[in-house]
Amino acid sequence: MELWIISVALIAALAALLVAGVWIALTLLGVGWVAMVLFTHSPAGGLMATTVWGASTSWALTALPLFIWMGEILFRTRISEDMFRGLAPWMAPLPGRLMHCNVAGCGIFAAISGSSAATAATIGRITIPELLKRGYDETMTVGSLAGAGTLGLLIPPSIIMIVYGVAADVSIARLFVAGVLPGIMLMLMFSGYIAAWALFNPHKTPPRDQFTTLVEKLYSARHLIPAVLLIGAVIGSIYTGVATPTEAAVIGVIGALVLAATSGSLTWRTFHASVMGATKTSCMIAFILAGAAFLTVAMAFTGVPRIMAQWIGEQGFAAWQLIAVLTVLYIILGCFIDGISMVVLTSSVILPSVKAAGIDLLWFGIFIVLVVEMAQITPPVGFNLFVLQGLTGRDMFYVARASLPFFILMVLAVAIIWRYPEVVTYLPGKMFKLT
């Protein structure tokens, strides 16, 4: 009974602070403080100071601001415009034609960004005007971009993977590798749906602008070279073991600065804007992680995670039942809070239960990323919905309806990786000599 009293009290405190509009980080600190003061005899102040300091000085976090900065720099270059010019001739023969540029463009940019919102905004600024001008269906154009924009979280380097890796004490490099095959799978699912939709709705797809030869396609592909080189430098250095994620992030920042300089978009104004954007985002995430670290410690002192894990073990829940419940839980949470907050807010309670159910934490990290991707396109606080609302001028619920088929495909992707966990674990097992 005491467990439920503690849980209800802490959930009520959490809900009250969130409804009052208190910052997520302060809410986490406040709930942790309430837990320590009311339900333990430990000194809350000293524990908060040491926990926050320890969370803020984690070496694993150093990759976070660097990858964010890399994305901010690229956001202000012409790389997305070049990618569209390089991809368009190759996508035109496919059913759905240039709408596949949304998926392919987001997939490429995701591999050098790490941010879902930056991916959707950067690619959307180019593809939406071009596709609508050519007469493509607006609903499918917006929906495919909303869905594909979430690839910024799944295809490494991913900010959310760094956050989860720190929270769950899982190797960030292994998480990056584990996200490759699910990311490719999701891209193929999105493109497959676009192609099927186009075949059933041929009147909504405009005819090809022009026919290009193989030589012309290869020549246009030169515009993809900068992005491919940067992807190879960042991801390749991690996969080959030449660099850690933090060192790869440094390579990425240097490469992004070189690209910006060679494209003529590196000015003092854009440099300053990229630094300030990265600083604000990094500080926000670091503050949230510090609050989550204190809440995690406070929850451990109350004994709630241990008792919950023990209760789950006694109930004999199958692992698939737990995953099904967590999927619904995260979809609901995604309607109200952002993805990073979802991870840090729930990790202290969820992870002990996941361990008790015998679920691999590496696999669970990719599962988390997939359900957080869903949260990016669920109203009323889906970040990608805000981005596309600004780009299209449409209301949020129009964008949400347009992205619904791609939301369903993400749910299907969760079912696939549950049925075939090798999609997640195969590459890490091969590359890190693990079984």
List pLDDT tens digits, range 196-251.
Answer: 999 998 888 887 666 677 777 777 778 778 878 887 888 788 777 788 777 888 88
427, HSE (Cβ side, Cα atoms, 13 Å): 20
pLDDT above 70 for 433 = no
Evaluate whether residue 313 is within a structural domain: yes
Asked if 406 and 385 count as a contact pair (C-beta separation under 8 A), the reply is no
pTM attached to this predicted model: 0.74
Residue with tokens 């584990």: 178
Spatial distance between the Cα atoms of 107 and 226, rounded to a whole number of angstroms: 15
At residue 13, the pLDDT reads 81
Spatial distance between the Cα atoms of 3 and 23, rounded to a whole number of angstroms: 27
Residue 431 banded pLDDT, cuts 50, 70, 90? confident
List pLDDT tens digits, range 63-119.
Answer: 778 877 887 787 777 776 777 778 878 887 888 888 888 888 888 877 776 667 667
Positive or negative, the CA dihedral 326, 329, 331, 334 is negative
What letter would DSSP give residue 61?
G
Residue 2 banded pLDDT, cuts 50, 70, 90? low
* Burial of 184 per CB tally in 10 Å (0-12, 13-18, 19+): middle
pLDDT above 80 for 145 = yes
Spatial distance between the Cα atoms of 305 and 117, rounded to a whole number of angstroms: 33
Residue 1 banded pLDDT, cuts 50, 70, 90? very low
Q: Which two tokens stand for residue 54?
A: 């320890």
Spatial distance between the Cα atoms of 177 and 165, rounded to a whole number of angstroms: 13
How many domains does the chain fold into? 1
Q: Which of 57, 69, 116, 25 is nearest to 276 (CA)?
A: 69
Any idea which of 84-88, 280-284, 300-304, 417-421 has the lowest mean pLDDT? 300-304
Evaluate whether residue 5 is within a structural domain: no
Evaluate whether residue 318 is within a structural domain: yes
Evaluate whether residue 4 is within a structural domain: no
Evaluate whether residue 92 is within a structural domain: yes
List pLDDT tens digits, range 357-416.
Answer: 888 999 999 998 898 888 778 775 566 777 787 778 787 788 888 999 999 999 999 999
Residue with tokens 């010019």: 85
Evaluate whether residue 317 is within a structural domain: yes
Q: At what angle do helices 319-334 and 396-419 cross, to 10 degrees?
A: 170
Q: Which domain holds residue 233?
A: 23-431
Asked if 169 and 162 count as a contact pair (C-beta separation under 8 A), the reply is no
Asked if 274 and 69 count as a contact pair (C-beta separation under 8 A), the reply is yes
Is 416 or 264 the better-scoring residue by pLDDT? 416
Amino acid (one-letter) located at 91 = M
Evaluate whether residue 18 is within a structural domain: no
Amino acid (one-letter) located at 430 = K
List pLDDT tens digits, range 38-66.
Answer: 887 878 888 888 888 887 777 767 777 88
